[in-house]
Structure formats: structure tokens, C-alpha cells
């Protein structure tokens, strides 16, 4: 089932008097449960594309349908609500709140949703923390964690509300290869258990290796789109 559909998406930035096209007509369909990697050199438009998909930015031209809803022309408030309920983000720099504990950082995403009881929230947060291997560290502050642990918190925060889609921008850029492996395993595990769709923007060959679909961009255009059989071994 198609979760995301992009048709002729263009994004042009105005830099002084010069117009710079970051995306030059992207057509793309993402199925539910896909573990997709968007790769390409710097300036190829990966992050811009991820921002369009993540409702953080709107295209200059084209259409984006997310879960059947057109988002390209939505208002700021509508986009915020789509992000709140349907999207999870994992950042390169983790972007955790240093004054909140691991538990509270994850709780933050759930607190924004309606209709959750305190007990439910606690159960959900603890479950996801256990799933990413941080059940014992719930009361720690981010500054007491390693890079890999911080990224796991970030993953837990993105996944706790069980979003339809998780977007990860260079999730392994600040991690060593062993930790990157661990973190990708966690995400893959979540993808398989919860059928959550993941889209990565990355330079990292390891991430591309894990992905079951690899989209390559160059100069704001898709130059290849390959699906591969995922081999967990």
C-alpha cells in the first residue's frame, strides 16, 4: 500500500538574485513498511527531499500525498499536526533536551498526542526504551549517555507514538561503525516488528547496505531507484 507519493516535486531557493533548484521534479512512491535509503553527494537534494516528505518544508511545485492527504499546500498548523501524529524524526545530532531524563525525552513525543492516559504513556515509553535497550537508563540525563545511547533515545522518541513514517537524516554520521550497526539493527527490528516505514538520508554505505530500497539523487534528480531483498544475515 502506498504511503507516500511525490509527483513532480521541485524546490527552488532564492539566494540573493540567483535561483537555486534543490529538487528538479522528483516522482516517487514509498510503500508502507519500506526501509528506504536516499543517497547522493552533498548538495544532491537528499535533505531537502527529506524535509519535503517530513512536512518541514513545502515544495515550490509538485504534489506530495502522505497517507492519502495532500501536504504540499497545507498550512503551518496543519503540517505541525501531521508531524505530531504521523511522523517520527531521527537527527544526526540527536537533538535531545538536556534537562529532561531519557524517559522524559521519549515521553515528550507522546505528551503531544490526545487521549493518552498517564499509565498508558508510562507503559508505552518503558516498552520502547526496553526495545531499544535503554530500559535501565530511563532516569539518566542525555549527558550521561554515549553517542550510541543518545541515538537510541532519539529512535525511541521517534517510534514511541508508533508513527506511519520515520525520517532519519544521517542517523549514523556521529557514531562509530560498531555503534552504527547496533543502531541500525534497532531500527530494522522496529521496522520488522511494527511495520514502520523508514526513510534515511545518508552518505553512509552501512545504512545503504541495511536499506531494502536505495534511491540515488544527483543535482536534485533521481538517478536510480533500486529495491533489494533484505538479508538480515
Residues that bind other proteins (CB under 8 A): 47, 51, 54, 56-57, 76-77, 80-85, 87, 89, 91, 93, 95, 97-100, 107-109, 111-116, 118, 157
CB 56, min distance to other proteins, A: 5
Closest CB to other proteins among residues 93, 176: 93
CB 115, min distance to other proteins, A: 5
Rounded CA-CA distance 24/20 in Å is 10
CB 83, min distance to other proteins, A: 4
Closest CB to other proteins among residues 13, 230: 13
Closest CB to other proteins among residues 47, 212: 47
**Cβ atoms 5, 28 nearer than 8 A:** yes
CB 179, min distance to other proteins, A: 21
Closest CB to other proteins among residues 16, 98: 98
Amino acid at each position: 500500500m502506498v504511503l507516500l507519493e511525490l509527483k513532480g516535486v521541485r524546490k527552488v531557493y532564492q539566494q540573493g538574485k540567483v535561483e537555486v533548484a534543490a529538487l528538479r521534479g522528483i516522482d516517487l512512491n514509498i510503500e508502507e513498511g519500506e526501509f528506504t535509503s536516499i543517497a547522493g553527494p552533498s548538495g544532491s537534494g537528499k535533505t531537502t527531499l527529506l524535509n519535503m516528505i517530513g512536512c518541514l518544508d513545502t515544495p515550490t511545485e509538485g504534489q506530495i500525498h502522505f497517507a492519502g492527504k495532500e501536504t504540499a499546500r497545507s498550512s503551518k498548523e496543519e503540517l505541525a499536526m501531521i508531524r505530531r501524529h504521523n511522523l517520527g524524526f531521527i537527527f544526526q545530532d540527536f537533538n535531545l533536551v538536556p534537562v529532561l531524563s531519557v524517559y522524559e525525552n521519549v515521553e515528550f513525543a507522546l505528551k503531544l498526542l490526545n487521549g493518552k492516559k498517564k499509565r498508558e504513556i508510562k507503559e508505552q515509553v518503558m516498552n520502547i526504551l526496553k526495545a531499544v535497550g535503554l530500559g535501565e537508563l530511563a532516569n539518566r540525563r542525555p549527558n550521561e549517555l554515549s553517542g550510541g545511547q543518545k541515538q537510541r533515545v532519539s529512535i525511541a522518541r521517534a517510534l514511541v507514538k508508533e508513527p506511519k513514517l520515520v525520517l532519519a537524516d544521517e542517523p549514523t554520521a556521529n557514531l562509530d561503525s560498531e555503534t552504527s550497526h547496533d543502531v541500525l539493527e534497532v531500527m530494522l527490528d522496529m521496522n520488522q516488528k511494527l511495520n514502520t516505514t523508514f526513510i534515511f538520508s545518508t552518505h553512509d554505505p552501512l545504512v545503504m547496505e541495511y536499506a531494502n530500497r536505495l534511491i540515488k539523487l544527483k543535482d536534485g534528480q533521481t538517478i536510480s531507484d533500486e529495491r533489494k531483498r533484505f538479508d538480515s544475515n
